[in-house]
Amino acid sequence: MSPLSVLAPAKLNLFLAVTGRRADGYHDLVSVAAPLEFGDTLTMEPAETFSLTCDDPAVPTDETNLVLIAARAWAEATGRRGGAKFVLQKRIPMGAGLGGGSSDAVAALRALNAREGRPLESAALAELAARVGSDCALFFPGGPVVMRGRGERVAPLAAPVAARLRGRRVLIFQPGFAIATPWAYAQLAAKAPGSYWPARDAEARLAAWIGEAGAPAEALLFNNMEQPAFAKFIALPALLDRLLTQFGLVARMSGSGSACFALLPEPATVAAGSRRPAAGPAVPVAAITQEIRAAWGPAAFVVETRLA
């Protein structure tokens, strides 16, 4: 059987309101997340046992990796024997808030399920993914979603609303340091209750954006996890302020960071009748990239992509 390759897309949290801590230690949230056209590639071929290799030596390939956790969860749920050799081409930076580990796990589930004739239907596969990791379920609808609970309750945005986001051009950038998600949530909890955003307020803001037919994606952007990150890592807000001043770009942090993003207008060369958003003022991506690397160093991660 020939190897099977699956895209594991990165994600952005365009809107993220952490609303409180639960009795089980997790946090409740209200979020709008969207997958990207950019991501990792997971290749799988049959083998007697489950194993993982990666082209990034910094990625752990032992039993702690979500790819192997997901694979074993799938085998237990289906009763299937045998294994798979997974090879991961890592492009999504770690500790970035871009969902790379969760997306890799979902790619493993999709690949295994497809190879074995889809013994689990989509709903069952998504439920299994939610048990593997809080962010996993968001990758199943294949487009922008609203996440609630600890992230396991996922609902696709209605098509007209999702159309405001799909295909939007976006620049992703990350400094040379990561932010550990447990640390970020612990900082919120330590400063509670003022660090949390009331769920009713989060839902009201989201409903207002959804209900305003012409509201652009930029009007949705929010993330209260920026509070602890920006207080400790001042290089983040310093650069975002400079991008606003110099280029008029409203940039935000994704998830718990440290990656940030800015939505970009379309080039003026987009053909008439295109389904892409209308062209805006020219934004020199090369100049933006130069500014990012001048602030964060030449090793800063920068990639241009689109919301899927």
How far apart CA 19 and CA 28 sit, in angstroms, is 6
pLDDT tens across 274-292, in order? Answer: 455 544 556 789 999 999 9
Q: How many residues does the chain have?
A: 308
**Residue 49 DSSP label:** S
pLDDT tens across 92-148, in order? Answer: 999 999 999 999 999 999 999 999 999 999 999 999 999 999 899 999 999 999 999
Check 11, 40, 90, 104 and give the catalytic one. Answer: 11
Q: Are the beta carbons of 228 and 191 closer than 8 angstroms?
A: yes
Q: Does the structure show a pLDDT above 90 at 192?
A: no
Q: How far is CA 285 from the centre of its chain?
A: 22
pLDDT, residue 281, reads 55
- Residue 101 buriedness (CB in 10 A; 0-12 / 13-18 / 19+): buried
Residue 266's pLDDT band, with cuts at 50, 70 and 90, is confident
135 in active site: yes
The percentage of residues in the chain with a pLDDT greater than 90, rounded to a whole number, is 89
Q: How confident is the model over 41-67, as a mean pLDDT?
A: 97
pLDDT, residue 134, reads 85
Check 104, 135, 232, 241 and give the catalytic one. Answer: 135
11 in active site: yes
pLDDT tens across 205-224, in order? Answer: 999 999 999 899 999 999 99
CATH number of 162-306: 3.30.70.890
Q: What's the topology of domain 4-160?
A: Ribosomal Protein S5; domain 2 (3.30.230)
Domain boundaries, the chain: 4-160, 162-306
